[in-house]
Structure 1
Amino acid sequence: MRLTQRLTVPSAMLPKAWFLVLVLGLFVQLTGLLFNSDGSRYATQTYLLLFVPALILLFWQRLSLHTWRQVPGVLFLCLLAWVLASSLFNPGSNNDADYWLKIVLLILLYVFAVASLVSHKRAFTGLLVAVVTLVAVFAWLTIYYQFVVLDKPLGYAVLRHARLYELGWRGLADLKNPIIAGLYYGVFAVLLTYLLVGFKVRAWQAALLVVGMAGLLVYVLFTASRGAWFSTAAGCLAALLLFPNIKSRTLIGLGCLVVAAAVYLFWPEIQHEREIGVSGRDLIWGNWADRLPEFWLMGAGAGADLIFNFPNSNRGFLHAHSLYLQLWYEYGIVGFGLFVLLLLSLLWKGWQCRAEPLARLGLALLVLAMVAMVSDVYAIFHRPSPFWVLFWFPVGILLGVSRHDGKASLKQSAQEKPENAL
């Protein structure tokens, strides 16, 4: 079985009507969180515009075996199967098997939809431009409304206490939590970096992209989420390194200067962040390690809560504050092992397919997700959420890309030039 087996179904065979609906459905899934304060409305839109068309397409393509007949695809299916088996046979699982069957099916359809659209590079790029534009506009609107209309002060102490996570007007762009908001907007910062350095852009386009990037990065900064800071920085740096050209090298240089200036100007604030440390995560992780003999083999059950209460405090938590530890807690060493192998296989496939720009984008997004999952992501096996944009979206991209034969593509990659004009 070849790791980077080429897709056997040509793009022309994707029904045009279904293709357009999937594009609209993915647009709604990626950006609908900004418009829908009601989760049920967002779920309904996503079901009708994305999941139902993806299910019909999956059956039309006879389960799309070409998508899964690769090492990452097999590991992905094995991981979903293990999650479902845990819900059936582990008595500690939350919710019944029907619930987990629904979750597994939705994840399967989502990853399949993304992988199917990746083969249409121009349309997929157009989708990325649309979603990045919209999210960048919302980032600037949030900054304007919060700090101009509402006239909130910009002092460090205020920003550290009143962290950014919503527009603040009619429930728009309310992501409920600053950590989630920072990670969500960080994903689009990586996408915008890809558009800036991966394509030939005119001066006015580059200027608009820089303005959009400024809004996204300021938003992430004002969430005061260090996990979002580091993961966004890692993802953007990975994108710049994977597209070695004059623009990326210039941006790396400018980024180093900005970081050096920030360290000099905000040294007291940086020292305060260092004193805060990991915000009690060390105690939660220590509790996880103490309980490891209880669950290390088979896990505590799908969706099981890892309950921890701080000593001499009413504060309590229901998860490990690290996705890696939480997955091991819920699904045991087998589930954790399958997850790690899936990550490694996706990294390997992305590297093998690095002549394809979308493979490099997928790698950069996966780097962001892998850093974020160290301390901030609490679940990926649940109903559609911002964490799907963070993790399952790059999984779909990397499953959908393929390595093209021929010297032209390899020569173009070696010359380090963008593929097309934006």
Structure 2
Amino acid sequence: MAITLVWPSKTWNEPFSMQFSYLSYSKHRMFDFICLWLLPIGLFLLLSDLYFVPDRSIHHKLYYGLFSIPTLIALLLRPREMKTLLQEPLILGLLAFIGWSMFTLIWSPTADSALGLLKPPLHILMLFLGCSLLVKYRSESLQPIFFSAAVIAMLITLYNLYVFAGEWSPDIPEQRMIGAGAFDNPLLSSHAFGFFCIYWLTLGMTSKRKAIVMAAAPAFLIMFAALLATGSRTPLVAVVLSMVWLSFICWNRRSLALIGMLTAGAVVVLALFSEMIFLRGSSFRLDIWRMALELIAQRPFIGHGYEAPLAFDVPQVGYTLSEPHNFALGVLYYVGIIGFIPWVFMQVWGLYSSWRHRVNPLFILASAWLVYGIGAALTEGGGILPRPKEHWYLLWIPLALIGALSISQRLKTLLDRPVKRLNNADYSALLAHAKVIEEDGLGPKVLRLENGSFLKLFRERRSYTSGSFNPYSQRFAVNSERLQAMGIAAPRILDLYLFADGSSGVLYQPLPGQTLRQVMQSMGSGAMRQALVERFGKFLALLHDKGVYFRSLHLGNVLLMDDGEFGLIDIADLHFYPSSLRLALRQRNLRHMQRYPEDRRWLFEEQLQALLDGYAVQAPPIAVGRLRQQIEQLGRTESTVS
């Protein structure tokens, strides 16, 4: 049957600038591109490229071009983002630390220009702000980024160990592995090896998938072997501190295994590597620290100034050293106790914040990295605000991640509840007297429990999907809380479960009401249906304007609740964009609804004008025009076919 479409006389092919602000549209698209693509790529390279780029200058340029500068551009495009970011104590602590460090240039005897000295602190600030934007708008990318970077680091490290083993000779004393890529120092290399050593250890402690836990064990051993091959001792202390921290912040049955592994590992290391640990003595650290404390005592409160000259002449070394080989002493020397206070505050607050939110594995990982950095910094470092290099693994990257996670936690973009593991007996008890609401060929999908709550089941996928990192049950829970924070009704989450067969489930309180499809079927009056479709068009435009892209959007997933408002259900595959949806996504959303015959007849044939009138209340005219053109083209196609 042919479809006849009658359009108003208004010309929808007017110049784009007359219908929609091209500048505003371009700003939104640029901001989205930075947050959704450039920042994830930049963070991935920041974590991994030292392993394969030939020198640090390329590492710097990649970070500047793909993370730091894009972050600055994003904030210039949308300055209101700073209001949220400046509510985070870690960012305020960093600003206080940077501000005081710059102030000390007044008495700092340095020959460098103030503008040149300001660049490294600004790049560190961009790390904090960029991570916050990334986690706020694309938090689901974090775990794949970490995993991919860790796999690359592990594979290259395995090759490094193979080369080192072929070159190693017991006749050459003090032979230490450096590694390929931009690494040029065994101690600095150990920071990178230890960083991913802690990643695999944390993954083994927090992952609920047996296959991941089994894969994490050999990866940890590879990175730990590289740590030993560098001959550096402080990273071993740092790993021990991280293991102790993990055993308490996780505190599960694996904690006992970790403590046992820690004890056994200590025995093995002392038995096999006691010469490396004890025969080298203190490496003149005690002499250096004594000299540093004497200098600090000259200006204990205000310090000698950011980038003031520093030199230690230890007779036994034979050359002058320019670092106190302790991060804390370096801070005290350059910026004094006044600068030391915000520096310590950031670390204490980072650990405290991670402990409060320890139900989220990302907080556990970031805090384990921070504890590792605190341990490794006991005998390493001196520059307080360095350019991107191995020292960033120890302090700035963990703190930036904790700050970003804390911001997202407040904005409800991260999971903030534990996932309960149920055995078969508990699962059977949970489903006692449950009624199947929805099922497919593999079994039940949604069940109503005896107490009236609903349990939605998500089966484990045998092939790799993004659900391997972000289970769909957890996405459902996070999406629900984010929608509610936006003022959009969604099911209230009660619990999250992981079952013995690898599937997961979310328990929620259903919304009171009927689906729009049910309501439309029961309506006999065309006028009532027209009014309802117009209201739905306005609601759809509201979703698009807020950046909500609901791939499964159709009238069966939208509820008309008892209070007359709309709500969303079945929201596991819902995505949030930083800006209002671009035109292509709006059109794709409507194409999905056109796949359902009843929805298509009611929305795009009988009540099309009502749908567009409602949509036009919230949406820009160019979006309304594009949707009209899309539907018109569909009508012409059908007319040709019929």
TM-score by length of 1: 0.85
The residue number in structure 1 matching 2:121 is 104
Is residue 2:205 matched to residue 1:197? Answer: yes
Contact 2:207 2:213 in 1 (8 A): no
SS at match of 1:401: helix
Is residue 2:371 matched to residue 1:367? Answer: yes
The residue number in structure 2 matching 1:162 is 175
The residue number in structure 1 matching 2:575 is none
Task: Give how far 1:240 is off.
Answer: 3.9
CA 1:239–1:164: 2 relative to 1, 3 Å? same
The residue number in structure 2 matching 1:314 is 318
Contact 1:380 1:387 in 2 (8 A): no
The residue number in structure 1 matching 2:196 is 188
Task: Give how far 1:400 is off.
Answer: 1.2
Give the Cα separation in 2 of the matches to 1:339 and 1:299.
14
Q: 139, 146, 150: which is aligned to 1:132? A: 150
Structure 1, residues 278-337: CA drift from partner, whole Å, max 9, x if none? 211111111122223322122112122321111366232111111100111111221112
SS at match of 1:373: helix
Give the Cα separation in 1 of the matches to 2:88 and 2:35.
25
User: Could you tell me which amino acid in structure 1 is paired with residue 122 of structure 2?
Assistant: L
The residue number in structure 2 matching 1:244 is 251
Gaps of 5+ in 2: 1-29, 424-466, 470-642
Q: 97, 108, 111: which is aligned to 1:91? A: 108
Summarize the alignment of residues 287-306 of structure 1 with structure 2, pairs less than 5 Å apart: 287-306=291-310
Q: 270, 275, 280: which is aligned to 1:276? A: 280
CA 1:238–1:293: 2 relative to 1, 3 Å? closer
Summarize the alignment of residues 342-361 of structure 1 with structure 2, pairs less than 5 Å apart: 342-361=346-365
Give the Cα separation in 2 of the matches to 1:230 and 1:413.
32
CA 1:192–1:396: 2 relative to 1, 3 Å? same
Give the Cα separation in 1 of the matches to 2:35 and 2:275.
53
Summarize the alignment of residues 325-344 of structure 1 with structure 2, pairs less than 5 Å apart: 325-344=329-348
Structure 1, residues 148-194: CA drift from partner, whole Å, max 9, x if none? 3xx423x4x74x61211123xxxxx2411111111111011111222
Contact 1:308 1:317 in 2 (8 A): yes
CA 1:272–1:139: 2 relative to 1, 3 Å? closer
Query: % of aligned pairs identical?
Result: 21
Give the Cα separation in 1 of the matches to 2:370 and 2:405.
14
Give the Cα separation in 1 of the matches to 2:165 and 2:100.
47
Give the Cα separation in 2 of the matches to 1:380 and 1:338.
12
Give the Cα separation in 2 of the matches to 1:58 and 1:330.
30
Contact 2:323 2:381 in 1 (8 A): no
Greater alpha carbon shift after TM alignment, 347-356 vs 50-59: 347-356
CA 1:416–1:346: 2 relative to 1, 3 Å? farther
Give the Cα separation in 1 of the matches to 2:276 and 2:372.
25
User: Could you tell me which amino acid in structure 2 is paired with residue 77 of structure 1?
Assistant: L
CA 1:363–1:414: 2 relative to 1, 3 Å? farther
Give the Cα separation in 2 of the matches to 1:393 and 1:342.
12
Aligned residues: 393
Is residue 2:430 matched to residue 1:412? Answer: no
SS at match of 1:125: helix
The residue number in structure 2 matching 1:53 is 70
Higher strand share: 2
Is residue 2:231 matched to residue 1:214? Answer: no
CA 1:128–1:346: 2 relative to 1, 3 Å? same
Q: 44, 51, 56: which is aligned to 1:39? A: 56
Is residue 2:290 matched to residue 1:286? Answer: yes
Task: Give how far 1:45 is off.
Answer: 1.9
Is residue 2:158 matched to residue 1:152? Answer: no
Greater alpha carbon shift after TM alignment, 367-376 vs 246-255: 246-255
Give the Cα separation in 2 of the matches to 1:128 and 1:366.
15
Task: Give how far 1:115 is off.
Answer: 2.5
Contact 1:94 1:303 in 2 (8 A): no
The residue number in structure 1 matching 2:438 is none
Contact 1:183 1:372 in 2 (8 A): yes
User: Could you tell me which amino acid in structure 2 is paired with residue 51 of structure 1?
Assistant: S
Give the Cα separation in 2 of the matches to 1:373 and 1:33.
20
Give the Cα separation in 1 of the matches to 2:157 and 2:341.
37
Contact 1:94 1:301 in 2 (8 A): no
Is residue 2:257 matched to residue 1:257? Answer: no
The residue number in structure 2 matching 1:7 is none
Give the Cα separation in 2 of the matches to 1:405 and 1:381.
30
Contact 1:54 1:112 in 2 (8 A): yes
Contact 1:190 1:239 in 2 (8 A): no
Contact 1:198 1:243 in 2 (8 A): yes
Give the Cα separation in 1 of the matches to 2:251 and 2:403.
24
The residue number in structure 2 matching 1:386 is 390
The residue number in structure 2 matching 1:10 is none
Structure 1, residues 223-274: CA drift from partner, whole Å, max 9, x if none? 11111111123224423432233344323323322322443x33xx526633
User: Could you tell me which amino acid in structure 2 is paired with residue 334 of structure 1?
Assistant: I
SS at match of 1:110: helix
Give the Cα separation in 1 of the matches to 2:269 and 2:316.
37
CA 1:278–1:75: 2 relative to 1, 3 Å? same
Contact 1:380 1:388 in 2 (8 A): no
CA 1:416–1:118: 2 relative to 1, 3 Å? farther
Contact 1:296 1:332 in 2 (8 A): yes
Contact 1:163 1:178 in 2 (8 A): yes
Is residue 2:246 matched to residue 1:228? Answer: no
Higher Rg of the two aligned structures: 2
Greater alpha carbon shift after TM alignment, 334-343 vs 219-228: 334-343
TM-score by length of 2: 0.57
SS at match of 1:374: helix
Contact 1:199 1:421 in 2 (8 A): no
Contact 1:86 1:301 in 2 (8 A): yes
Task: Give how far 1:222 is off.
Answer: 0.9
Task: Give how far 1:382 is off.
Answer: 1.9
Task: Give how far 1:413 is off.
Answer: 6.7
SS at match of 1:95: coil
User: Could you tell me which amino acid in structure 2 is paired with residue 188 of structure 1?
Assistant: F
Contact 1:308 1:316 in 2 (8 A): yes
Give the Cα separation in 2 of the matches to 1:339 and 1:416.
43
Contact 2:239 2:372 in 1 (8 A): yes
Give the Cα separation in 2 of the matches to 1:305 and 1:341.
26
Contact 2:191 2:393 in 1 (8 A): no
User: Could you tell me which amino acid in structure 2 is paired with residue 255 of structure 1?
Assistant: L
CA 1:136–1:237: 2 relative to 1, 3 Å? farther
CA 1:176–1:247: 2 relative to 1, 3 Å? same
User: Could you tell me which amino acid in structure 1 is paired with residue 168 of structure 2?
Assistant: K
The residue number in structure 2 matching 1:8 is none
Is residue 2:336 matched to residue 1:323? Answer: no
CA 1:230–1:247: 2 relative to 1, 3 Å? same
Higher helix share: 1
Structure 1, residues 361-389: CA drift from partner, whole Å, max 9, x if none? 22111111111111112224121111112
Give the Cα separation in 2 of the matches to 1:56 and 1:370.
32
CA RMSD across the alignment = 2.8
